[in-house]
Structure 1
Amino acid sequence: MSADWPLETNLGDMSRRLGFFKNLQRVTTKIHGTSNIDEIILEMSEDICELFHSDRLTIYLISDDRKSIVSKVKTGLASHQEIRLPISEQSVAGYVAATGKAVNIRDVYDDRELAGHSPRLYFLKEVDQRTGYRSKQMLVAPIVNAQNGELLGVVQLINNRSDIPFPGVADEGIQALAQTLAVAFAQRQKERPVLKGKYDALVSDAIISSAEFELAQRSARRKNSSLEEVLRMEFQVELPAIGASLAKFFGVPYEPFQSERIRPIDLLKNLKRDYAEANHWLPIEETSEGVVVVTIDPERLKGSRMVNNIFPKRRIVYRVTTQRDFSQLVDQFFGALSNIDSVGDLLSGLDDDEVGDTPGSNAEVLSAAADNELVRLVNKIIVDAYQKGASDIHIEPRPGKEKTLIRFRRDGSLAPYIEVPASYRSALIARLKIMSDLDISEKRRPQDGKMKFKKWGPLDIELRVATLPTAGGMEDVVLRILAAGEPIPLDDLGVTPHNLERLKDVIAKPYGLFFVCGPTGSGKTTTLHSILSYINKPETKIWTAEDPVEITQKGLRQVQVNKKAGLDFATVMRAFLRADPDVIMVGEMRDKETVSIGIEASLTGHLVFATLHTNSAPESINRLLDMGMDPFNFADALLGILAQRLGKRLCKSCKTAYQATPEDIQLLLSEYCAEMKDTAQWQADAQAAIERVRQEWLARYASEGRFTLYRARGCDACAGSGYKGRVGLHELLIGTDRLKRQIQEHARVAELLTTALNEGMHTLKMDGIEKVLSGVTDLKQVRAVCIK
């Protein structure tokens, strides 16, 4: 063994052991004797490394929300960015914080050794990858208040300078050091220094170190920016922490922004937006204490007496708030401004070399994600997508130095929107994860979340967010803009008169089971809400279980499914049966339990609606039977199945009319009648069946025996595509007695289809061709969504 460190030569040598603890005693005495713990741990960090013969030292303190630990002392790392780790097994220090156990690891890259501590323990390699440093040995201990067992932080030593494991006596030493730090930190919590500045409490409360605070001040001066903005953006200091610091300095309570706050019309009647922004104060409510006024500088406002001049003879109660909270409050009371920069201007503000593409710590990625230009760009992307009528936003990073592609899906088709510099791809993904409350450190597994954009931008919309790891260590993000709003009246849904009459008859039944089926994004939920709106009467109790709740309407009792909380569709369905329902709507039936409860409910006097992910109405029957449903109960319960697709609608502004030739009509007839070849009419006389269809078309769609069709042209309104909006294509299967007998006999899909056609069902393609004759769409779009 090396003789560099006494503890590594002969652990049985008491004199050397005593020498180590004597030096440890000097360090602990110095820590106990200081009045400024922040300065002493910075000064003593090198002494601690020397004592333990360690290459690096990191001391973490627990965050305000007690969900993570934050680095306050680091040796050997040039970056001033804090390291924030969740209290979990995603990192060694996080594991120690979570379990309260000290660890002595020989090699943090040895997965087998890590598994010996916990099967889920993981070492974060990102910092090593960025700096080229190789972490190996690690000695880590929790800092715990001995009086109440409260976790205060973690002390971590990295790499023995002799490149051998830390010896056993070092285990004792680091735990003694952790106890000393615990006493010092606990004492500091009791003794608060006199505050000289608005943000001094951030240092005294260990939110940031004094060195980091000085860096923030210099950065604010250099960038000509506010100190609050630098603390938030560059050092990730949370708004509640800044507000708490302001409250201690001014001696008044902190008032955070509240999105549900009611606008006080009476108090605001004499105030204008420009005045509020210039003088930084607003009244928020009147209580028994007086008029509550929110401001970013209570002392200045009290001295000016401008509030007393506007509200004479009334008592004023002051609250302090942050600049960010105040800006949101102004937008809330006076309306958000729409002066968002153009995409080109925002992109030009992103320097392609400003953020390195080498993987770094979460703190550095977060800092880039909080960059003001990037924040505005993300907001602009979402606002543009909404205003352009996009249903989805696709973020597609590409490897190397290729730019990240962003595409919008409009009317079912993807089109490029912008490209973002490659160096910002990690920060862009991190920003979206932050907005969606997803784990930014998890990049190896898909994640799902939801974003309330009102919290971050000027629109009151929600987005469903999905991340997916892709080749080359990339991550794609897809955002679905949820179509919140009122239900479309059933008569305006675009259902042909043939289907609409039959649909109204079915949903007027007092009990039974009705399905709407189709792929994702085919408008199933919209159709179900139109149906519910049609039957929504004061005497009817309607329960819905949805994920997410997109459309709301009066009279419905709507439940948001929350799988993380154990509230899945089956659980909600069972609860509905005890809540005296007349009608139940289930957002999705994909498992045997949910379908079984639906059948049970329909057979006991309830009308049940649900959606299915299947291709056609007859196929849905076999899918449900394959789940293990009792064919007799299912057949008794079934009222009908509506299959649905969305095709592109011809742009009303530019579609061009033309007289259909006999060849055009013959083509439509052949496409239409190809669906009827197994029906009784076709088998009896094919030509008579074709002629019967022709005569129906002449009576319904022709004028003076001539058909007018339309073709796409393209204009500014439809961005040159010729199509704008969507049209629904429907296939309605009714649960007739003959069809129910076939279900009980496990008939094949082809047999079910033939029976349904014989009894008047129109297939998706037949319905689409009728909409071609109506001038709503063209045959190309019908074929695109009805292909078999």
Structure 2
Amino acid sequence: RESNNAMQMVEGLGEDDDLLRVAQELPEPSDLLESDDDAPIIRLINAVLTSAVKENASDIHIEPYENRLVIRFRVDGVLKEVLQSRRAVAPLVVSRIKVMSKLDIAEKRLPQDGRISLRVAGRAVDVRVSTMPSGHGERVVLRLLDKHAGRLDLSHLGMDARTQATMDALIHKPHGIILVTGPTGSGKTTTLYAALERINDNTRNIMTVEDPIEYYIDGIGQSQVNTKVEMTFARGLRAILRQDPDVVMVGEIRDLETAEIAVQASLTGHLVLSTLHTNTAVGAVTRLRDMGVEPFLLSSSLIGVLAQRLVRLLDPATKEAYRASDYECSVLGVDPADPPTLYRVPDGLSAGEGYRGRTGIYELVPIDDSIRTMIHDGAGEHELERYARTLSPSIRDDGLRKVLAGDTTLEEVLRVTRGD
């Protein structure tokens, strides 16, 4: 493969190669520039990657400023600085990453995208590389995608038993559209992959069109959008429908053309899974109507909508119990005369500490005959929302349940559900 060299480089990294120590041992930038030896920069990048994988970071940000180079990790959805180095090191780091990801090292005026496959600290990791010109040199963001898809299981995503059972029933239906909604970074793609893994039993032809492919799943035909050659979601979806599929996953419904093909595919006997950027489940209905999908087509094709967010989980080793305040009782809908025990991050921990990992909070609305009639008749979002609450709790309600269970904080749930 194109990244064999990169894989060998990181495979050879010792566990004791501490990031800060490697950075401190870097030779002077002037010596690095004059030398043909890339080893110090390679060791620094290896240490950054290994540290990021150990911390379960989702992204590495490499940011040059006027007098310094800053490296930050996004861990559990929050950015934290892990290293500052000399400004002159930045172009050397960026050039080496470009070599590893097969990008044009001479092109510094335009954004570029690439990919590296690595084995870091014993784990196979795909790295998506994105460069962006800035006033002080190129910024680079590395998105780390753990290729170990074994954790892509519906039972590991934090759904309660009822939601998981309903979702399981929906994805085993022979046809219809299932939508997963939420803002960027709310775990929609992970949920879709987990759903595909659940039904990937060699009895169905499952095909996807994605932008980009984040995880490769054995037994599923995955295609990637490529706008340079006009391979759009709509074009890919049309082609997939000529490949005798049973199940189709479209990374995102971005326009009317894709939406209409998805609807027609579901009406002709295919199960279609996709995502939309809306805050609530019923908001997906409004968004598709606003795009121009006819209500009678929508009502006959949609079978379920799952809205979701990710909240940080409290670290069981450090979380602190306390009695809920009157305000917290009012938010939780409990009697302040008998306040429940909640948990929080203790004082004295720095930002980001006190949490370990994330879980989903969900609102799943199965489309029954009543809501189908309402969609067909053009019911407004508030009316649909009122009826949806009779079918399932809201996304905030699911979050509040996790607060009462001691899994997360009220602050976390309110942070990710404020716009709902």
1:442 aligns with 2:107: yes
Contact 2:124 2:146 (8 Å CA) reproduced: no
How many angstroms does 1:661 deviate by? Answer: 6.7
Report the CA distance shift for 1:606/1:715 in structure 2 as closer, same or farther (over 3 A).
Answer: farther
Q: How far, CA to CA, are the matches of 1:595 and 1:655 in structure 2?
A: 45
Instruction: State which of 359, 362, 365 in structure 2 corresponds to 1:727.
Output: 359
Once the two structures are superposed, residues 12-71 of structure 1 have per-residue CA deviations (whole angstroms, 9 ceiling, x without a partner) of xxxxxxxxxxxxxxxxxxxxxxxxxxxxxxxxxxxxxxxxxxxxxxxxxxxxxxxxxxxx
- In structure 2, what is the equivalent of residue 268 of structure 1? none
1:488 aligns with 2:152: yes
Report the CA distance shift for 1:545/1:659 in structure 2 as closer, same or farther (over 3 A).
Answer: same
- In structure 1, what is the equivalent of residue 53 of structure 2? 386
Report the CA distance shift for 1:639/1:462 in structure 2 as closer, same or farther (over 3 A).
Answer: same
Contact 1:446 1:469 (8 Å CA) reproduced: yes
Q: Residue 478 of structure 1 aligns to which amino acid in structure 2?
A: V
- In structure 2, what is the equivalent of residue 785 of structure 1? 416
Q: How far, CA to CA, are the matches of 2:360 and 2:181 in structure 1?
A: 13
Which of 495-504 and 510-519 deviates more?
A: 495-504
Instruction: State which of 270, 274, 289 in structure 2 corresponds to 1:610.
Output: 274
Rg (Cα) greater in structure: 1
Please, which runs of 5 or more residues in structure 1 have no aligned partner?
A: 1-256, 261-323, 357-363, 671-690, 695-704
Q: Residue 344 of structure 2 aligns to which amino acid in structure 1?
A: R
Contact 2:64 2:90 (8 Å CA) reproduced: yes
How many angstroms does 1:545 deviate by? Answer: 2.4
- In structure 2, what is the equivalent of residue 509 of structure 1? 173
Contact 2:95 2:105 (8 Å CA) reproduced: yes
The number of aligned residues is 417
Instruction: State which of 404, 419, 436 in structure 1 corresponds to 2:84.
Output: 419
Q: How far, CA to CA, are the matches of 1:258 and 1:610 in structure 2?
A: 31
Instruction: State which of 440, 448, 451 in structure 1 corresponds to 2:116.
Output: 451
Q: How far, CA to CA, are the matches of 1:484 and 1:746 in structure 2?
A: 43
Map of 1:746-765 to 2, 5 A cutoff? Answer: 746-757=378-389, 759-765=390-396
Once the two structures are superposed, residues 506-532 of structure 1 have per-residue CA deviations (whole angstroms, 9 ceiling, x without a partner) of 333221001111222211121112222
1:624 aligns with 2:288: yes
- In structure 2, what is the equivalent of residue 600 of structure 1? 264
1:710 aligns with 2:343: yes
Q: How far, CA to CA, are the matches of 1:336 and 1:564 in structure 2?
A: 36
Q: How far, CA to CA, are the matches of 1:707 and 1:634 in structure 2?
A: 43
Contact 1:489 1:533 (8 Å CA) reproduced: yes
Contact 2:27 2:40 (8 Å CA) reproduced: no
Secondary structure at 2:30 match in 1: coil
Report the CA distance shift for 1:353/1:630 in structure 2 as closer, same or farther (over 3 A).
Answer: same
- In structure 1, what is the equivalent of residue 39 of structure 2? 372
Report the CA distance shift for 1:604/1:775 in structure 2 as closer, same or farther (over 3 A).
Answer: same
Contact 1:714 1:722 (8 Å CA) reproduced: no
How many angstroms does 1:540 deviate by? Answer: 2.4
How many angstroms does 1:613 deviate by? Answer: 2.3
Map of 1:247-286 to 2, 5 A cutoff? Answer: none
1:743 aligns with 2:375: yes
Contact 1:406 1:419 (8 Å CA) reproduced: yes
Please, which runs of 5 or more residues in structure 2 have no aligned partner?
A: none
Q: How far, CA to CA, are the matches of 1:413 and 1:643 in structure 2?
A: 21
Contact 2:20 2:83 (8 Å CA) reproduced: no
Instruction: State which of 5, 15, 23 in structure 2 corresponds to 1:347.
Output: 23
Report the CA distance shift for 1:463/1:258 in structure 2 as closer, same or farther (over 3 A).
Answer: closer
Q: How far, CA to CA, are the matches of 1:528 and 1:477 in structure 2?
A: 28
Once the two structures are superposed, residues 144-175 of structure 1 have per-residue CA deviations (whole angstroms, 9 ceiling, x without a partner) of xxxxxxxxxxxxxxxxxxxxxxxxxxxxxxxx
Q: Which has the higher contact order (CA 8 A, sep 6+)?
A: 2
Q: Residue 140 of structure 2 aligns to which amino acid in structure 1?
A: V
Q: How far, CA to CA, are the matches of 2:403 and 2:318 in structure 1?
A: 16
- In structure 2, what is the equivalent of residue 19 of structure 1? none
Report the CA distance shift for 1:601/1:667 in structure 2 as closer, same or farther (over 3 A).
Answer: closer
- In structure 2, what is the equivalent of residue 158 of structure 1? none
Q: Residue 435 of structure 1 aligns to which amino acid in structure 2?
A: M
What is the TM-score normalised by the length of structure 1?
0.49
1:551 aligns with 2:215: yes
1:669 aligns with 2:333: yes
How many angstroms does 1:638 deviate by? Answer: 0.5
Q: Sequence identity of aligned pairs in percent?
A: 40
Secondary structure at 2:300 match in 1: helix
- In structure 2, what is the equivalent of residue 655 of structure 1? 319
Report the CA distance shift for 1:340/1:438 in structure 2 as closer, same or farther (over 3 A).
Answer: farther
Q: How far, CA to CA, are the matches of 1:421 and 1:369 in structure 2?
A: 19
How many angstroms does 1:551 deviate by? Answer: 3.3
Contact 1:549 1:559 (8 Å CA) reproduced: yes
Report the CA distance shift for 1:603/1:378 in structure 2 as closer, same or farther (over 3 A).
Answer: same
Secondary structure at 1:391 match in 2: strand
- In structure 2, what is the equivalent of residue 646 of structure 1? 310
Aligned-pair RMSD on alpha carbons? 3.3
Contact 1:487 1:553 (8 Å CA) reproduced: no
Report the CA distance shift for 1:446/1:720 in structure 2 as closer, same or farther (over 3 A).
Answer: closer
Secondary structure at 2:272 match in 1: strand
- In structure 2, what is the equivalent of residue 534 of structure 1? 198
Which of 763-772 and 368-377 deviates more?
A: 368-377
Secondary structure at 2:333 match in 1: helix
